[in-house]
Structure 1
Amino acid sequence: MTVMILGAAGQIARMATESLLRQTDADLILYARKATTRLKGTAQERVRLVNGDFQDVEALIKHLQGVDVVYITAAGDTDAKQRIAAAIQAAGVKKVIDTSILGIYDEVPGNFGKWNTRMVGASRIRQVAEATRVFENEAFDYTILRLTWLYNQAGNTAYMLTQKGKPFVGAQVTRQAVAQLIVDIVTAPDDRFVKKSLGVSEPNTDWDKPSFY
């Protein structure tokens, strides 16, 4: 199996890279601006570093050849996602893991929902919702990850999932848990994650705001 990570220099992408190398035998293509400089510590037999950006559709098509799964980190960039989607379709890849945020379906109830909208901004939420629709369609075997507020805690990989159409529950989740979820999606033996938009949070964090605010 070959997994391509677009935007591979980000925090979650780096953690997912480490987890995939440790827990699977997948080959990885790490695509990012100045990847050979920023990610040189990850270079090994199963890793290929690619310098590039999301504007270069031809480069994306070239490096997507033979890829089984693409993980995308450009949450609110509709233009970038449209270019990536065109490249993915041209390369014949179907399985996509796309990042988004909570609130894009107005699915966050109560005080936490009000706090989240105030902190993120309604216009930003609408922007991310538009970008998410690029992959949330029948052309892809997509998994959308609607991430709640993120923090780091080594060893904490606990996550819970809420389905589209259900109220979002959970004010925070670790980046380590999101990285583990990406591994779980890549290695799933069935279609449990396919064509799903999943709210991602930490169990027992149904609060009015994250603990670090």
Structure 2
Amino acid sequence: MNILILGAAGKIGKLLAAEVLARTPYDLVLYARNAYSRLNAIDSTQVKIFDGDFRDIGTLTEAMIGIDVVYINDMGDDQATNIIIEAMKKVGVKRVIGASVLGIYDEVPGAFGRWNKMMIGGSPRMQAQIKSARAIEDSGLDYTLLRLTWLYDQKDNKDYVITMKGDPFRSTQVTREAVVQLIIDIIMAEDERFIGKSLGVGEPDTEWDKPSFY
């Protein structure tokens, strides 16, 4: 299997690349701005690196040749998301996993929902996330959206709980390590249970008024 990580120099992108290399025989294409300097510590025959941004359809198209799964690490630019979709269709890649954020459907209730809206609800970036998610859902691609709650790092904490679209989303936090575990579980799934789904991603037993680190 060939996996393209768009935004590979981000924290989750780097963790995902390391886990894929450690646990699978899959080949990786790592795509990021200033990729050669930011990803120079990765040395593997399983890896190709592309330097570009999400609006560069020529470089995106080249990077997608032979790819089975595209992971988008950031959908905070809806114009870029549309260009990624265009590039995928041009090359014929169908499978995409996109990292979005909680609240794009106004699905977070209670005190946490009010806190989350205060923090990010009215931002231009949130509006871009909403448009990006809609574009992915309407794309005709075999998509999985991940609506990530507030992120933190904790080594070896890979516990996650998922919430389906239409259900209240109450988990206030989740580790990046758990998000990576879920992405790998999705990639390695032998059935189609994750396709066409928008999943709220949180940590079990974190239904609080706000994340513990705030």
Fold agreement, TM-score > 0.5: yes
- Aligned equivalent of 1:134: 135
- Aligned equivalent of 2:180: 179
The more displaced of 33-42 and 132-141 is 132-141
- Aligned equivalent of 1:39: 39
- Aligned equivalent of 1:191: 192
- Aligned equivalent of 1:146: 147
Task: Supply the distance in 2 between the matched residues of 1:32 and 1:123 (Cα, whole angstroms).
Answer: 24
Instruction: Please give the root-mean-square deviation of Cα atoms over the aligned residues, in Å.
Output: 1.0
- Aligned equivalent of 1:55: 55
Deviation at residue 107 of structure 1 after TM alignment: 0.4
- Aligned equivalent of 2:109: 109
Task: Supply the distance in 2 between the matched residues of 1:155 and 1:206 (Cα, whole angstroms).
Answer: 21
For 2:86, what is the secondary structure of its paired residue? Answer: helix
Deviation at residue 133 of structure 1 after TM alignment: 1.2
Task: Supply the distance in 2 between the matched residues of 1:211 and 1:12 (Cα, whole angstroms).
Answer: 20
Residue pair 2:171, 2:204 contacting (<8 A) in 1 also: yes
Residue pair 1:73, 1:99 contacting (<8 A) in 2 also: yes
Deviation at residue 169 of structure 1 after TM alignment: 2.2
Q: List alignment gaps of at least 5 residues for structure 1.
A: none
Deviation at residue 138 of structure 1 after TM alignment: 5.1
Residue pair 2:112, 2:170 contacting (<8 A) in 1 also: no
Moved over 4 A (4+): none
Task: Supply the distance in 2 between the matched residues of 1:209 and 1:147 (Cα, whole angstroms).
Answer: 14
- Aligned equivalent of 1:81: 81
Residue pair 2:173, 2:202 contacting (<8 A) in 1 also: yes
The count of corresponding residues between Structure 1 and Structure 2 is: 213
Task: Supply the distance in 2 between the matched residues of 1:133 and 1:102 (Cα, whole angstroms).
Answer: 14
Residue pair 1:108, 1:167 contacting (<8 A) in 2 also: yes
For 1:208, what is the secondary structure of its paired residue? Answer: coil
Residue pair 1:74, 1:80 contacting (<8 A) in 2 also: no
The more displaced of 36-45 and 193-202 is 36-45
Task: Supply the distance in 2 between the matched residues of 1:14 and 1:138 (Cα, whole angstroms).
Answer: 27
Q: List alignment gaps of at least 5 residues for structure 2.
A: none
- Aligned equivalent of 2:9: 9
The more displaced of 51-60 and 8-17 is 51-60
TM-score normalized by the length of structure 1: 0.97
- Identity across matched positions, percent: 51
Residue pair 1:43, 1:49 contacting (<8 A) in 2 also: no
Residue pair 2:75, 2:128 contacting (<8 A) in 1 also: no
- Aligned equivalent of 1:158: 159
Task: Supply the distance in 2 between the matched residues of 1:126 and 1:16 (Cα, whole angstroms).
Answer: 27
Residue pair 2:85, 2:139 contacting (<8 A) in 1 also: no
Deviation at residue 110 of structure 1 after TM alignment: 0.3
Task: Supply the distance in 1 between the matched residues of 2:162 and 2:67 (Cα, whole angstroms).
Answer: 26
Corresponding letter in the other structure for 1:72? I
